[in-house]
Structure 1
Amino acid sequence: MFGFRRSTMVEPADALPGRPEPIVAPERHTVLGTPLTGPWPEGLQVAVFGMGCFWGAERIFWQMPGVYSTSVGYAGGYTPNPTYEETCSGRTGHTEAVQVVYDPARVSYEQLLKAFFENHPDAGQPAGQRRRQPISLRDLHHHPPEQEKVAKVTLDAFQPIVTASGHGQITTEIKPLDTFYYAEDYHQQYLDKVPNGYCNHGPNGLSCPIGVAKLES
């Protein structure tokens, strides 16, 4: 991941044991003032994105109109209730992830995907620096099947743009979400608490097309 922490592919039997007690998330979002955990108001939907370090990724989404709440945590692995240190060790199978709760009447899942693809730091490297290298945009964890379809179609539409910029195949994994574990309090809305904190996310110069996925009625 060109400098990102990345959990290695540990086998379930070799994963850290974890613990039965979950990390207790704060009650409220420090920026939006909304609850950090569900149940969510009727009509809202949830999407989970893995973009490397979750500090900057979370800020991208909480700034979007129509986003009700965001939180950071660990997704896609085996260890129950992992800590940050355990996740970074590569022995839990998880990736750092952002949970986005949004109002589909105000912001579409495709618009969230566009933010995901256009703000990943790997995708915009100049061709002379990363030419023909694969672009790992981490994970897209879908909830309903409709999200999976939209994510796959959008990724396929973005691939020619990535290729034209001098990169190889996108290696994003699109997979169902089994469990999302909330990260420790100090990670939640980190860049609001530490405005000058580390962040390597921002516009990468590539434009992701949306409106390409046609869902069956």
Structure 2
Amino acid sequence: MKKILPLLFITFLLSCQNKAQNKTLTDKQNKLKMATPVTVPSDNGMERAYFASGCFWCVEAIYESVTGVSEVISGYAGGHTANPTYESSNTGRTGHAEAVEVIYNPTIVSFETLLEVYFASQNPTQVNGQGPDNGSQYRSIIFYQNSIQKELIQRKKEALSKQLGKSVAAEVYPFQKFWKAEAYHQNYEKLNPNNGYIKNVSVPRLKKFQAKMTAILKKNH
């Protein structure tokens, strides 16, 4: 009994600490959702949009195949810590999700179309992940930079939810900051065609999307 009591006390303390830490993380994330969105200025007519939808290797390749998109960068967004890394974001304690920065020409492809790409390229009802990738770092998030984008996102979510008869998992966040991922993550699918994950998860996801939206694809994809 004397040995059991200390163990029970330690278990109780750890449980309390975990609950307190989880509450702190939740409070920080809720504060982010209430923040004023940051608008990224156009650069030579090009605009930027930000999405999280599972593994950024997959999402980067999907948006790279869309006409009007000049470049897609893999990174991290939606968290409450500075300078996130692949290792730290994978703990789930920074609040960040793997995300992409989509650089696009709005005279060729609209933000609304990028939203359609977003929902057409994932399982919109899967919570905290896509396919085999699970955890808060793989959750779906759509970032808005102004009230027009926010309203458009909400309308799309509501319409899709009604169509599916299920809740759409994507969270909606005011954009704050995008942190570029490590160099080896950039263009990963293109540079690592023989990687097992790329062949078995990323490429099939890309092809499934492309079959749905052939009209907006670049000719070389």
Greater share of helix residues, 1 or 2? 2
Post-superposition shift, 1:158?
A: 1.2
- The residue that corresponds to 2:191 in the other structure is 193
Post-superposition shift, 1:41?
A: 2.9
Q: 1:192 to 1:9 in 2, by over 3 A?
A: farther
1:102-121 equivalence runs, <5 A: 102-121=104-123
Structure 1 unaligned blocks of 5 or more:
1-7, 16-37, 125-135, 209-217
Post-superposition shift, 1:78?
A: 1.4
1:107 aligned partner, one-letter code: V
CA distance in 2, matches of 1:121, 1:139: 13
1:89 aligned partner, one-letter code: T
Q: 1:162 to 1:42 in 2, by over 3 A?
A: same
CA distance in 1, matches of 2:191, 2:81: 28
Q: TM-score, normalised by structure 2?
A: 0.65
- The residue that corresponds to 2:24 in the other structure is 11
- 8 Å Cα contact 1:75-1:179 kept in structure 2: yes
1:155 is paired with a residue of what secondary structure?
helix
Match of 1:63 among 62, 65, 69: 65
1:149 is paired with a residue of what secondary structure?
helix
1:174 aligns to 2:172 (yes or no): yes
Identity percentage of aligned residues: 34
1:194 aligned partner, one-letter code: N
2:53 aligned partner, one-letter code: M
How many residue pairs were aligned?
164
1:139 aligns to 2:152 (yes or no): no
Q: 1:85 to 1:103 in 2, by over 3 A?
A: same
Match of 2:154 among 135, 152, 155: 152
- 8 Å Cα contact 1:79-1:93 kept in structure 2: yes
CA distance in 2, matches of 1:9, 1:59: 34
- The residue that corresponds to 2:88 in the other structure is 86
Q: 1:9 to 1:42 in 2, by over 3 A?
A: farther
Larger C-alpha radius of gyration, 1 or 2?
A: 2
CA distance in 1, matches of 2:22, 2:101: 22
- 8 Å Cα contact 1:122-1:137 kept in structure 2: no
2:108 aligned partner, one-letter code: R
2:61 is paired with a residue of what secondary structure?
helix
| Deviation sequence 1:159-196 (CA, Å, 0-9, x none) | 12222xxxx31121111111110000010111011123
- The residue that corresponds to 1:31 in the other structure is none
- 8 Å Cα contact 2:63-2:69 kept in structure 1: yes
1:172 aligned partner, one-letter code: A
Greater displacement, 80-89 / 139-148:
139-148
1:141 aligned partner, one-letter code: F
Structure 2 unaligned blocks of 5 or more:
1-20, 29-39, 127-137, 214-221
- The residue that corresponds to 1:51 in the other structure is 53
Q: 1:14 to 1:158 in 2, by over 3 A?
A: closer
1:170 is paired with a residue of what secondary structure?
coil
Q: 1:121 to 1:51 in 2, by over 3 A?
A: same
| Deviation sequence 1:133-181 (CA, Å, 0-9, x none) | xxx9610011122211111111111112222xxxx31121111111110
Q: 1:113 to 1:65 in 2, by over 3 A?
A: same
1:70 is paired with a residue of what secondary structure?
strand
